[in-house]
Structure 1
């Protein structure tokens, strides 16, 4: 007997979630039923697709090859089903979007909440993670990222103003340590360093009048989450480098103050992106239209 769609969906869900329990929840089925589907498929294939321990689930080498080949094909099948089920006027069905946490916070209020109010029959699954992924391979319809990180074979729909960063610190910190006047002055300041998803430490970027530079700032605290960086900066532990969106409320209330503003020009805009060589389901087309309408 050949594998069914349910078994294939089960394998891809476990591969995405790294957990049978989380995969079962995403597919709205019981953990035991999902586990049975995966075991049944492994039995038919005569090979193990996952390494299982009491604490983790990960793909075997054969499982990685299987998911890489089956994922895009199953996405095509989902698209065909979506096309048949669409009635043209009211978008419905599921829409899976991958994004970073920061991007999700920026698009939720102006775009996603109005979208869900306008199209209540759409089931939106928003997955936030900072690592960049292959959205086609991992079963997503679209993603939100900055334009510079989007693969060249994707369609990108820009939204909102360009992303701009800010160097900020607490009034208490500046009272004790003074204010840097140029990026070079950061060598004399405590800075809250940012670890990127790939593991490297981010070098702060500056530019003024065509003079661009990056600074590997020093400091005793390294973090990988913007809200923690804000909390540390509010406590006077050092300067931090975050997007204007992240620091806007603190600047407005005076909890934090900005320096080096003329050294932080706008960077790339955020965008919605999706595969360019596939049918665009009605739910995604409706989101694209709303973004273009909103700007």
Structure 2
């Protein structure tokens, strides 16, 4: 940080009364010291020091600037110490739960990058689509689509604008045909997700005329989101997946988005915990990291 070093050097000049002595104290060559002083004077557009062959003294402007330089340097040092202290607190164990599809296909890779940035953080990852089980297990925070049913839980947005996407593999569409409207879904094999005993077979959509819902059916139902995605990739039918889960598939063409004039139902991704005291510095850094990664995918 040149500004930091230049201020430090100028203050050292004032303290020693010598360009050479200041350079020696800060382990600079005389040439580098002279360049630093000239750079600072050029940035301020004033002369700070009057030099002769035998002596050095501050100009009037230099005397005035010295007081501010000392205050600024102190503040910058305090800020640096605060940042370094904060970094040192980013450590410990994070017990994280994530949905199976999101976890396997995105979060695992993201955690590699996160731990490269924060090597003192240990991750204990649990992949589960069963919300009820998550909070009976030792978990600090959980990534979940939608708002928690229990109002006592804290939900922090990670991808607030994420929505479901109607999609299928090109192989399936070539074999069966592409639905031209939501009503055409009656004639297609729809791959459904199940939570507990509830099968998510009523798919909601939003368009210019408001909300509509379609009751779908198919020959495959799973309580694992990754299984539904794999069936769709294998050309077994049409899926209605959270956009994050299939973002890379859509980008590469492995899946094709259908009925794009309709928006899928909201599927916001939240980080959920029981108590805000669980939001340690490490968890907060992970939250910010995940928000950035989701934003890169357009969620």
TM bin, normalised by shorter chain, reads 0.5 to 0.7
Q: Is residue 206–residue 213 contact of structure 1 (8 Å, CA) maintained in 2?
A: yes
Asked if 1:197 corresponds to 2:192, the answer is no
Quote how far apart the aligned CAs of 1:137 are. 4.9
Equivalent-residue separation in structure 1 for 2:168 and 2:232 (angstroms): 6
Mark the CA change 1:284 to 1:178 in structure 2 (over 3 Å): closer, same or farther: closer
- Which structure 1 residue ranges, 5 or more long, are not aligned? 1-86
Indicate the RMSD between aligned Cα atoms, in angstroms.
Answer: 3.1
Aligned to 1:260: 259
Structure 1 position 140, deviation (Å): 1.8
Q: Which residue in the other structure is 2:242 paired with?
A: 243
Confirm or deny: 8 A CA contact 1:162 1:267 kept in the other structure: yes
Change in 2 beyond 3 A, CA 1:291/1:215: same
SS at match of 1:213: strand
Using the alignment, how far apart are the partners of 1:235 and 1:268 within structure 2?
24
Q: TM-score, normalised by structure 1?
A: 0.58
Tell me which residue corresponds to 2:43.
Answer: none
The alignment of Structure 1 onto Structure 2 pairs a total of residues equal to 207
> Does 2:137 match 1:138?
yes
Question: Aligned equivalents of 2:127 and 2:282: distance in 1?
Answer: 19
Please list the CA deviations of residues 246-288 of structure 1 after superposition, one character each: whole Å capped at 9, or x if unmatched: 3344434444332112223461421222233646444334434
Q: TM-score, normalised by structure 2?
A: 0.57
Q: Distance in 1 between matches of 2:252 and 2:134?
A: 39
Mapped contact 2:160–2:270 kept (Cα < 8 A)? no
Counterpart position of 1:48: none
Instruction: Could you tell me which runs of 5 or more consecutive residues in structure 2 were left unpaired when the two chains were aligned.
Output: 1-84
Give CA deviations for 1:10-55 in whole Å, capped at 9, x if unaligned: xxxxxxxxxxxxxxxxxxxxxxxxxxxxxxxxxxxxxxxxxxxxxx
User: Partner of 1:162: helix, strand, or coil?
Assistant: coil
Instruction: Between 118-127 and 156-165, report the one with greater CA deviation.
Output: 156-165
Change in CA separation of 1:177 and 1:288 when aligned onto 2, cut-off 3 Å: closer
Matches of residues 1-295 of structure 1 in structure 2 within 5 Å?
Answer: 89-104=88-103, 105-110=105-110, 112-133=111-132, 137-149=136-148, 151-160=150-159, 162-194=161-193, 196-203=194-201, 204-209=203-208, 211-265=210-264, 267-276=266-275, 278=277, 280-288=279-287, 290=289
CA separation of 1:218 and 1:279: change in aligned 2, threshold 3 A: closer
CA contact (8 A) 1:166 1:241 kept: yes
With over 3 angstroms needed to count, the CA separation of the structure-2 counterparts of 1:153 and 1:177, relative to structure 1, is same
Greater gyration radius: 2
Relative to structure 1, the CA distance from residue 127 to residue 230 in structure 2 (aligned partners, 3 Å threshold; closer, same or farther) is: closer
Please tell me whether the aligned partners of residues 146 and 267 of structure 2 are also in contact (alpha carbons under 8 angstroms): yes
CA gap 1:285/1:223 in 2 versus in 1, 3 angstroms: closer
Q: 1:242, CA displacement in angstroms? A: 1.8
